[in-house]
Amino acid sequence: MFTRLGNFAVRRRGFALTLTTVVLVVAALLGPGVIDRLAGSGFDDPDADSVAARAELDRIFDTGFPDLVFLMETNVGTAGTGVVDRAVMRDAGLAFTEEIAAIEGTDDVVSYWSTGDPALRSIDERSALLLLRLPGDENDPAREELSIRLVEDYARVQRGPLAIRIAGRDAVFEHIGSIAEGDLTRAELIAIPLTLLLLMVVFRTVIAALVPALVGVATLLGALLVLYLITEFTDVSIFAINLVTTLGLGLAIDYSLLVVSRFREERAAGYAVDTAVQRTVRTAGRTVAFSGLTVAVSLSALLIFPIYFLRSFAYAGIGVVAFALLMSLIAVPAALSLLGDRVESLPVRRRPRKRHVITVWRERADLVVDHPWRYLLGGTAILVALAAPFALVEWGEADHRTLPADDGIRRTTEKILDQFDSSESNAIPMLALGNVDKAAVTAHALEVSQLPGVTRVDSATGSFVAGAAVVPADDVARERFLREADDATWFNIVPAVDPISAAGERLITDLRGIETPFAETLVGGGAASFVDTKAAILDNLPLAAALLFGSTYVLLFLTFGSLLVPLKAIVLNILSLGATFGMLVIVFQEGVGADLLGVTAAGTTDLSTVVLIFGIAFGLSMDYEVFLLSRIKEEYDASGHTQDSVVEGIDRTGPIISAAALLLTITFLATATSSLAFVKMFGLGLAVAVVTDAFLVRITVVPALMTLAGKWNWWAPRPLRRLHDRWGIPDSDTGVIIDLRDDPSIDLTRPSPSRVDLDLREPEPEAAPEPESETLFAAFPRDDD
């Protein structure tokens, strides 16, 4: 397969490059337009009780929990208590309430002055709240447009003596989406020039460096086109764009880096240009193809989760992988065939090396294979120690603390939490259907009001606090809370705890655990939404992990024909990711070093972000595993000696893996410059995962373990060996490798019984002995060695 693909890239390079250009033009025209088609939500399970509660409350009662909250503060110079009750304040507050209620698309607009509810007045009586709801589905474009407009128009306004600021769940997440777009542009401006600079350091020529860089940009455009097409059929989160940028640039550059490096190696060995391209596709192309497949398999595990925020990253990642493979396996070889030695700034030396350059990678590999137990136990101990803090994890989700500390919406939200006794804006709606009567409503309200963490319960039969009625029912309450025709009622439960906390989770559990006389009850609100999202992720996590580990194991077995190699890869990846998650808990949950990063420790770790990092980093780790093992297996098949093949494999791939890891780290750290805490966590977590895997696991633990395993690295029982021989992925193709320019009449579409590598190397005078080198990228072929 890969021999034929290499022949196609050489023989039909004009067609391949033309087709690639056409696809990229279409991607450049349509792809960027996807930004306006992406949604800023997607954190809820569509089948959850909290989602059903919101829909039923909207359908039956035309109500629900508040989406936006306005904090209205009196002028600083006004003194005394009861300020908000003064006539001038009341008139301004009522006028503003009417102004918001008059906006088409708003509903349930209530304020302290329109209701007289003391819960909407601050403790010092100098500020008050206005609550409103935006009916309809949160993904409805008209609703989303209205939410954005309200956040933009009323972020900071003055109405007479009232200074008005906006907050609420919708305001927080719309603002997060807006900031994310700006942060993405900054990340690209940082990552692209730094990536190009590093590529020039690696390749030491401008043209060779430009090839992977252009492939990265092309892959980014292609992935945007894939997302554009997907939005025709389903919702996609705007945060998936962050993965397109980071993984699109990083993965495409990694793959093309491997292809270009192998091409230069083949040219340095003396093969003619087209022959070198064909040999490159047959070897490096095979590695790239199955590396990409492992990444795609890892990302596809995110499709198991019902939350489209997570599924969106799977769509984006698979699109990135598809275009990265298309460019690296077809466009790059075709370009190399066309450019030939022009990819170098100086004539290429085409004699094989007389002796090995002593690189830091070979020295490191020699140390590890000479003392495998020392490095295996030491490396494993480091990973376990770094992973230990992960045992302290407390799961949470993104909230207002995701925003920068000086952000206006965050400061407004914190003021509301600090200055108001009850969490009216975080009220929990509880819907009851069937068997609704006055006695049942009163009994249920009394019982709920006595639960830990409940401040007050409002119902059709009055308001209750701590098991006692405090406000009798009236016609307004009955109209608000009761629908006799639908045999339905609902309760407004004002909590005394933070909704996104362990106490908030316990309250939701208690509410759902109460035995009621009603046929059905549904609990909604932000706290219930978090509990349902957490359950949707954790309940599906075992299945996602089983599919991820199982498919990865099968794929690696089909690639290498070994039982031990896939098991080792999975276990080491889990250890490596555990170390990454331990660091995230220490920083983002416990707050160690949080000030240096400009984030606020929330006391919890965002569950969705951890799942994302797991899926992406697991795939990238397997990516490097395939890079390394493919070369070690190639050397082992040639020599049959484990230690030599390990040393040679690390020596050959060490510079490539390190360069690839540094390139990916640059893109992830550029993402981590975001001012949003969970985006910073995403970028930093992936950067740490890549560095840990590339510079600790791959060059220390893996070679030590393979040295100890010896011939067992490649062992499989006879039945499985026969299965691999029949259905596995061969180490190389059958077919003819030849320079088509020398003999274009040869039919290369028909495989021969065995591969024939015609030695088309061009004789040259004996090269001078090479000096020893200890530079990081010394193993890359270059002209001035």
How far apart (Å, rounded) are the C-alpha atoms in residues 506 and 491? 18
- Write out pLDDT tens, residues 287-306: 888 888 888 888 899 999 99
How far apart (Å, rounded) are the C-alpha atoms in residues 26 and 296? 24
pLDDT below 50 — which residues of the chain? 346-356, 733-785
Question: Which token pair is 501?
Answer: 């906390």
Contact (Cβ atoms closer than 8 angstroms) between residue 20 and residue 331: yes
How far apart (Å, rounded) are the C-alpha atoms in residues 237 and 138? 12
Q: How far is CA 115 from CA 74, 131, 230, 426, 600, in A?
A: 19, 11, 46, 18, 36
- Cα dihedral: 139, 140, 141, 143 (round 10): -110
The candidate with the shortest Cα–Cα distance to 10, out of 760, 768, 674, is 760
SS3 for 495? strand
The 3 state secondary structure assigned to 125-171 is CCEEEEEEECCCCCCCHHHHHHHHHHHHHCCEEEECCEEEEEECHHH
Amino acid 178 reads S
DSSP of 685-752: HHHHHHHHIIIIIIIIIHHHHHHHHGGGGG---HHHHHHHHHHS--SS--SEE--TTT-TTS--SS--
Report the run of H or E that residue 211 belongs to, with start and end: helix 206-230
Q: How far is CA 741 from CA 12, 14, 151, 173, 784, in A?
A: 12, 14, 64, 59, 29
How far apart (Å, rounded) are the C-alpha atoms in residues 178 and 45? 23
How far apart (Å, rounded) are the C-alpha atoms in residues 529 and 225? 32
How far apart (Å, rounded) are the C-alpha atoms in residues 91 and 85? 10
Residue-level pLDDT at 425: 74
Residue-level pLDDT at 80: 57
How far apart (Å, rounded) are the C-alpha atoms in residues 646 and 371? 13
Contact (Cβ atoms closer than 8 angstroms) between residue 370 and residue 659: no
Contacts of 493 (CB under 8 A, 6+ apart): 427, 428, 429, 430, 448, 454, 456, 457, 458, 511
Residue-level pLDDT at 355: 46
The candidate with the shortest Cα–Cα distance to 562, out of 709, 717, 716, is 716
DSSP of 631-687: HHHHHHHHH--HHHHHHHHHHHHHHHHHHHHHHHHHHHHHHTT-SSHHHHHHHHHHH
Residue-level pLDDT at 488: 94
- Cα dihedral: 108, 113, 118, 119 (round 10): 40
SS3 for 43? coil
Contact (Cβ atoms closer than 8 angstroms) between residue 331 and residue 288: no
Contacts of 627 (CB under 8 A, 6+ apart): 258, 287, 291, 653, 656, 657, 660
Contact (Cβ atoms closer than 8 angstroms) between residue 531 and residue 506: no
SS3 for 331? helix
How far apart (Å, rounded) are the C-alpha atoms in residues 174 and 169? 9
Contact (Cβ atoms closer than 8 angstroms) between residue 245 and residue 188: yes
Tokens 């049942």, residue located: 440
pTM of the full predicted structure? 0.82
- Write out pLDDT tens, residues 172-221: 888 888 888 788 888 888 888 888 888 888 777 777 778 888 888 888 88
Establish how many alpha carbons lie within 13 A of residue 118's alpha carbon, considering only the half-sphere containing its beta carbon.
Answer: 8
Residue-level pLDDT at 344: 67
